[in-house]
Chains A and B, each alone.
Chain A
Amino acid sequence: MRVMAQMGMVMNLDKCIGCQTCSVTCKQAWTNRAGTEYVWFNNVETRPGQGYPRRYEDQEQWHGGWELNKRGRLQLKTGGRLKRLLSIFASPVQPELKDYYEPWTYDYATLVEAPLGDDFPVARPKSLITGEDTKVTWSANWDDNLGGTSELGHLDPIVAKIRQESEDKIKFEFEQTFMFYLPRICEHCLNPSCMASCPSGAIYKRSEDGIVLVDQDRCRGWRQCITGCPYKKIYFNHKSGKAEKCTFCYPRIEVGIPTVCAETCVGRLRYLGLFLYDADAVTAAASVPDEKDLYEAQMDLLLDPEDPQVIAAAREQGIPEDWLDAARRSPVYALAKKYRVALPLHPEYRTMPMVWYVPPLSPIVDLLSEQGHDAEDRDVLFGAIEALRIPIEYLAELFSAGDTEVIDGVLRKLAAMRSYMRGINLGREPDESIPASVGLSGETMYEMYRLMAIAKYDERY
């Protein structure tokens, strides 16, 4: 066992309002400069939707992440290392500007400077790449709030996949409307495929906290990492000719300040904390044959910070005491492992991502409303998990390699928490059968409630 520490993040999608404050504060701080106009280390996409860059989840097209080869060994989707070494000068498969978007600005100065004419001056859009007049046809967040989704939503790779089973599963019709938001940063994976893709060894994982960085001095602009990352969270700076990515705000983290995206999240849905994991077991965990086992395999990597053996092994590795203490108080560990409500994004990419998500609850469908249930029945007040608006299959494709049982388990916990707390809130005797029905004690459920709902600053970070 080789214990290492890893900074992780949990985002509770059930609280995300899709406001994009995180995107803006991140961009202002990090990528508001020449060469990175189109770059959003943090972006928030509406789902269903194509995401940014478009259809990044379609690995048949983009070849990101890992797969198991015929021998059952982990191999980059772009092929074995030998093959990649030999084809290093070939242009890598990677999104083009049109897949992100062509950044633009406006001829603002004309508003001030226009000479006397016969009509209002207006600022026309100009491409930031060519400087020419342009027509805006795609942006960093084009399909926000289902804009254009009735026409383009079928291009969402998850929609396409689910519809292969049945066209009826997802319809873009008014009565069936559903949506949620997916904020994304670099996953700072335990098994980063970007790092493995880099021919220059410029990408590294910091040993003390697992933050994955591109060494700006060493990067040679091969762009293999952009292909290698299945989340498309490495970007090419077209001015410097180097790769850039989310740094987990290490200059802040090092002095005890949360990442910009986390601290500025007005939904208060981001949690930061330490995981302890067994670095020696990563490759094995990432190599389990059945994709649906990857979630459990990833969970197994996370070590219990209260376990004396783990603590001893961590000390041996030189992990300081205050870090061990932080690992014990880690909200991300609690949400991922203790309460098991936070899930990894696309575990099937086999990168062991370290940004975790609590899947969103969603309103009950109208069908249930029309049946005129009796509101006195507490179980009905919040509707049934089976009847949620967001198809559970959709969430499963994102967070559990298609395993709907995992999603169902999380949503049941959230629903149970609401029922349990309603009783307490109204001064009734706490109904301990509710937490028991989802395998939690009342005390644990109350703890979970405090962490998810009250979520004080010191408890989030």
Chain B
Amino acid sequence: MTDTSRTGLDGAGSDALLRAGRFFTRWEETDDGRAVFREGGRAGDVFYRDRWSHDKVVRSTHGVNCTGSCSWKVYVKDGIITWESQETDYPSVGPDRPEYEPRGCPRGAAFSWYTYSPTRVRYPYARGVLVEMFREARDRLGDPVEAWAEIVGDPVKRRTYQQARGKGGLVRVSWRDAIDMVAAAHVHTIKTHGPDRCTGFSPIPAMSMVSHAAGNRFIQLIGGVMTSFYDWYADLPVASPQVFGDQTDVPESGDWWDATYLMMWGSNVPVTRTPDAHWMAEVRYRGTKVVTVSPDYADNTKFADEWMPAQAGTDAALAMAMGHVLLKEFFVDRRTPFFVDYVQKYTDLPFLIRLEEHDGADSGGGLVPGKFLTATDLGGATPEDAWKTVLLDGTTGEAVVPNGSMGFRYAESGKGKWNLDLEGVAPALTLAGDASEPVEVLLPAFVDADGSGTVLRRGVPARRVGGHLVTTVFDLMLAQYGVGRDGLPGEWPTGYDDASTPYTPAWQAERTSVPAEQCIRIAREFARNSEESGGRSMIIMGAGICQWFHGDATYRAILSLLILTGAMGRNGGGWAHYVGQEKCRPITGWISLANALDWSRPPRTMTGTSFWYMHTGQWRTDGYSADSLNSPLARGHLSGKHTADVIAESARKGWMPFYPQFDRSSLDVGAEAAAADDPAQYVKDALADGRLKPAIADVDAPESWPRTLVLWRSNLFGSSAKGNEYFLRNLLGTHSNVLGSENPAAPRPSEVAWHDEAPEGKLDLLVSADFRMTSTTLLSDVVLPAATWYEKHDLSSTDMHPFVHAFSPAIDPPWEARTDFETFHAIAQRLSELSKKHLGTRQDLVSVPLQHDTPGETPRDPYDTTPVFQVVERDYTAIADKLASVGPLADTLGFTVKNVTYRLEEQVAALARSNGVMSSGAGAGRPSIATDQHLAEAILRFSGTSNGALAVQGFRTLEERVGKQLHDLAEGSEEKRISFADTQAAPVPVITSPEWSGSETGGRRYAPFTVNIERLKPFHTLTGRMHFYLDHDWMTDVGEALPTYRPPLDMQRLFGEPALGSDGQLQITVRYLTPHSKWSIHSEYQDNLFMLSLSRGGPTVWMSPQDAGAIDVHDNDWVEATNANGVLVARAIVSHRMPQGVVYVHHAQERTIDVPKSEATGRRGGIHNSVTRLLVKPTHLIGGYAQLSYTFNYLGPTGNQRDMVSTIRKRSQEVTY
């Protein structure tokens, strides 16, 4: 111990000296002079007290592009926004759980910087050369529409301003001039080309529903086209429609707390779900094991008990091998009752599949699995019998057509029988037994890195039912996964250590680098945990696995693990897909008002990926045909087809939409059709005899071009535009960094005409509204100054938490900024005025595909279908009136979501009382939605999640079809209605509603599909169950009828890119991955000074020391990444957390901040998506086939970008700008 008498400072001499000086001091010290304590007299404190003081605190949040939906306090002093911090007043989720407070992240915390930043768009701007032409022509002609017509009709003038896009020269204009130009361009386009040449894009409505709906409603009222975002972003896991018949429904993050085994697979939770990450950290203290699967040492790996470093893009191999272990040990070696009961009830595993002789020469003949056996195969004669699937009663061995399949969903005969009640039947999972014969089946596999297929020969027990040779999906699954049983023919793995046979643990180890032992152990732990906990095994799935070309196959392989272990539809279990979800909890009100369904139906909605793929000319440089993806057992449905052909065929059949529709204006066609007895038949005939052609048949002809594009709440050209340089060149007609050229040897489409000269500059007008300068505003012809999230009223919800809460203005929009709501009303006003002379009332022929959750998904012959053609009357002089009021179809037809129609007469009347009614014009007497607050109120009023009366009503409606009690899920909430004012006061928990598949009833955490599992409500699929097997011809042809592994696309084989690795020069070809960044939410915040100061201050490329060393690159050196699509210039971050052979170019690094000229082209380097391109998977274009049917953002080709490779070079370190 220390001798305290001796302790002290320095020595006695200096003590004495210094003590003397203290006579003159006034403060209190410790005896040894070590410390000073002071009370009172703290004038020096004042500075910080002043700094902290403020006048008011306003609740708001951040919009669009983030799933956080966090409630924030915005501080205001002297009318100036000073800073923000998080609200902490979320309603409690219960005494034994962590709470949602405080939600937020550094990006949101830095938002207020934008308010007064030098990158703020303060006034309307327009491209100088265009404005001059417009003003001159308008003055001369006295009419803005004629002025616009003259400019765009003059090829020289048109090219002049198109080529100026992106190159500065924006000039400040008045709101009046800006609106005049935008409105005139729209009127001219509608008048000359038809309304379906007017396009709008604004993503992710949930986080600012009003701002989204205002513009979406405008576009739909004029007959324009809204392009999708969820599939376009490749955030849509196509496996979700395929397996669940649902877009995506996922647990709130609070439900992670219920998990007892938590895997994060390709999802870097701390970065991409920052406000929710704490649940993951905290649940570990409850004894939950946490496992990560990630190619790099990702941020979440810090929290993991185990890290499975699967190489990029190989995840399905790991999942298949885990499935192999699971099927063998928990279904064959030991039948686990918990799992078996579950799959019998809730999956397609017991259903019968017809086995058919394969006639392909390659296969040498043999049986292949075909389609589901249906009631029609057993002699049923009604149309719905074709959609009723069959299983065997395990006790009697008799064929049974159980309730719940699609055949029960729409037909009159199915009323009360669309449910999962097996009514005492215990389905046979396997046909193994006395009555069956062992047969060999051929199954495709994709084991080679170049993606080509091989054939596996494996045995299943089969028998004849109704004259058809059949087996079960379960028996096929065992064959597919290579789980052998005695007495079956075929080739089987010799054991887990058989590395040469798919899909064993040793086989996957060679592909993923994950040790076989780890794969086996995790699979066992996962399953045992589920068995012991009642399904509380959860997998958080993310963009790292979703955004690949074959992301759907990967997802199905992983979902299989969850479904086989009974984990779906459980609190604490199942999938947790968190990739750009956009859960508008009050969905009915939002989607119906956004699409203006209260005034006219149907709306024009378009799959973004196929739209941009075709209209940006990316199809012209696509180096392969759909054949390259085929299984060796394919039967030719896709043979010889170019991807453009597949898109054209899908559109022609009404599987997927395509706009523009025809080679002529839809208004002209509408007028003709309206005059015919049967308008739809008129169009079909005209298409058949060639009088009318689909626009896609000659997509590059000027009559097929989109002409106007309005972007709000979006930064298409700085963020999501895969193949960005093609957008610049072909769509916008300005300079680009495209480095490759069209390959004359590449296959050409047959359904789409080829022009030797690719058109450049399709768009007449690009408009964007934003509060900051982005790559998009730089390219826009008109830039409108938008209010920020702290300057308007709006609504926010997310699937990460169960609350709805408000945006509120902390200040009025400064300078000349306006809310999106005000902007679209101003455009609509002017457009309506100009229409008096130019448009009037017109008949518009609208063509839409067969829709999911409607009877359209059960066509009589699913391979011979057409779009649905309807005439819609549009009074263009009344657009502004209709925008501002709730139309009569709300009362007469109600609003329908997922085939449940909500009757709204009472709600419309109540809204009229609270919002007031319009006094004149087309909306006279109708409820007002003329202000942003009114629209917010209407959205909440018309949705079951926010209006208990509708939730109960919807459940009662659904009960009639399902035949099971459901309304008790919302009972007691009839009187509960969430008003906009409620959401402004605090976040409000939503009400359980049939709009979603889970239940919050009784204060439980939201988990998807709990209603399906607990109440026997079918999934919206063919069998009504979760699907392992997909029997559409195209799925079979690409070899994906069953879960499987497909390697990343071989870009050398398909596009002639260099082989991976170093070529001995100072350049190296690597996988080019674009995960989400810690310093931005998409492109937002990547230009924010706080984020830049906390990171590297500009665009970066993360790479491994090995790859950097191979090209002599050191940390912070400038490098260039190139391939045929373009070039990115950035600085290297060298880190050993990166695996060799992979670089990370974080998503949405724009060209606005510190991007020099490239050495490759001499022009400004590109954005992250300058080095990517669109790759369309044909099976995503299937439609009109049960769950494989179109709905906006539900199904469509994904704009995936992860299979890219790029060559990285060190460049001169002396950069120029």
Contact = CB atoms under 8 A, between A and B. Distances in A.
A257 B288 CA distance: 33
B655 to A, nearest CB: 39
Given A119-B167, A150-B1105, A14 B1217 contact: no
Given A104-B1097, A139-B1094, A449-B285, A191 B44 contact: no
B773 A124 contact: no
A174 B1138 CA distance: 7
A446 to B, nearest CB: 11
Nearest to A414: B285
A375 B521 contact: yes
B167 A112 contact: no
Contacts of B1138: 174
B44 A217 contact: yes
A266 B103 contact: yes
A263 B88 CA distance: 8
A323 interface: no
B44 A201 contact: no
B982 interface: no
Contact of B302 (A29, A140, A180, A263): A180
A87 interface: no
Contact of A30 (B51, B517, B1154): B51
A268 B283 CA distance: 13
Contacts of B1154: 106, 122-125, 136
Contact of A201 (B25, B51, B1092, B1105): B25
A122 B1164 contact: yes
B1133 A147 contact: yes
Contacts of A376: 528
B42 to A, nearest CB: 7
A366 interface: yes
B497 interface: no
A19 B105 contact: yes
A420 interface: yes
A195 B175 CA distance: 59
A177 B1155 CA distance: 31
B1116 A137 contact: yes
A147 B297 contact: no
Interface in B47-67: 47-49, 51-53
Most buried by A among B36, B166, B278: B36
Contacts of A283: 7-9, 30, 32, 34
B37 A69 contact: no
The number of chain B residues touching the other chain, given as a range, is 35 or more
B528 A453 contact: no
Nearest to A372: B517
B37 A204 contact: yes
Contacts of B1089: 105-106
B13 interface: yes
Interface stretch (A160-168, A208-216, A228-236): A208-216
A109 B118 contact: yes
Interface in B275-309: 275, 277-278, 281-289, 297, 299, 301-307
Contact of A282 (B30, B103, B1156): B30
Interface in B391-446: none
A25 interface: yes
A199 to B, nearest CB: 10
B105 A145 contact: no
A55 B446 CA distance: 52
A419 interface: yes
B1163 interface: yes
A372 B4 CA distance: 55
A308 B36 CA distance: 28
Contacts of A214: 44
Contacts, number: 422
A271 to B, nearest CB: 14
Which residue among B35, B98, B1095 has the maximum number of chain A CB atoms within 10 Å of its CB? B35
Contact of B286 (A69, A124, A453): A453
B374 to A, nearest CB: 42
A111 B289 contact: no
A112 B121 contact: yes
Interface string A177-216: 1011000000000111001100001111111100001111
Contacts of A144: 1078, 1094-1095
Nearest to A251: B52
B925 interface: no
A423 B45 CA distance: 52
Nearest to A32: B83
Contacts of B303: 363
Contacts of B1151: 120, 122
Interface residues of A, number: 142
Most chain A CB neighbours (cut-off 10 Å) among B1097, B1105, B1116:
B1097
Nearest to A82: B14
Interface stretch (A57-65, A72-80, A395-403): A72-80
B37 A75 contact: no
Contact of B2 (A17, A180, A288, A423): A288
Contacts of B1096: 136, 139, 142, 147
Contacts of A90: none
Nearest to B1213: A135
Interface stretch (B106-114, B806-814, B824-832, B1199-1207): B106-114
A264 B8 contact: no
Contact of A375 (B83, B307, B524): B524
A273 interface: no
Contacts of B861: none
Interface in B102-130: 102-106, 108-110, 112, 117-119, 121, 125, 128-129
Nearest to A79: B10
A284 interface: yes
A363 B301 contact: yes
Contact of B1153 (A17, A106, A284): A106
A312 interface: no
B97 A454 contact: yes
A81 B286 contact: no
A149 B1136 contact: yes
Nearest to A112: B773
A204 B119 CA distance: 42
Contact of B1133 (A14, A69, A148, A196): A148
Contact of A208 (B32, B39, B1093, B1104): B39
A6 B1167 CA distance: 51
Given A18-B299, A112-B119, A205 B104 contact: no
Contacts of A17: 270, 274, 277-278, 281, 299, 302
A373 B521 contact: yes
Contacts of B47: 216
A337 to B, nearest CB: 20
B515 A216 contact: no
Interface of B: 1-2, 4, 6-11, 13-14, 17-18, 25, 27-28, 30, 32, 34-39, 42-49, 51-53, 82-86, 88, 96-99, 101-106, 108-110, 112, 117-119, 121, 125, 128-129, 164, 166-170, 260, 270-271, 274-275, 277-278, 281-289, 297, 299, 301-307, 515, 517-518, 520-521, 524-525, 528, 532-533, 735, 773, 775, 778, 1078, 1087, 1089-1090, 1092-1098, 1102, 1104-1105, 1114-1116, 1133-1140, 1151-1157, 1163-1164, 1217
10 contacts: A18-B299, A24-B1090, A25-B85, A72-B7, A105-B1089, A109-B119, A140-B1093, A266-B102, A269-B278, A426-B260
Given A122-B1156, A421-B285, A453-B98, 6 more contacts: A17-B274, A109-B118, A120-B1152, A147-B1135, A425-B260, A457-B88
Q: Which 5 pairs, one residue from A and one from B, show the smallest C-beta to C-beta distance? A: A422-B287, A116-B169, A114-B168, A215-B44, A136-B1097
Interface of A: 14-15, 17-21, 23-25, 27-30, 32, 69, 71-75, 80-82, 85, 101, 103-106, 108-109, 111-112, 114-125, 136-137, 139-142, 144-152, 172-174, 177, 179-180, 190-192, 195-196, 201-208, 213-219, 247, 249-252, 260, 263-269, 279, 281-284, 287-289, 360-364, 366, 369-373, 375-376, 381-383, 414, 417-426, 449, 452-457
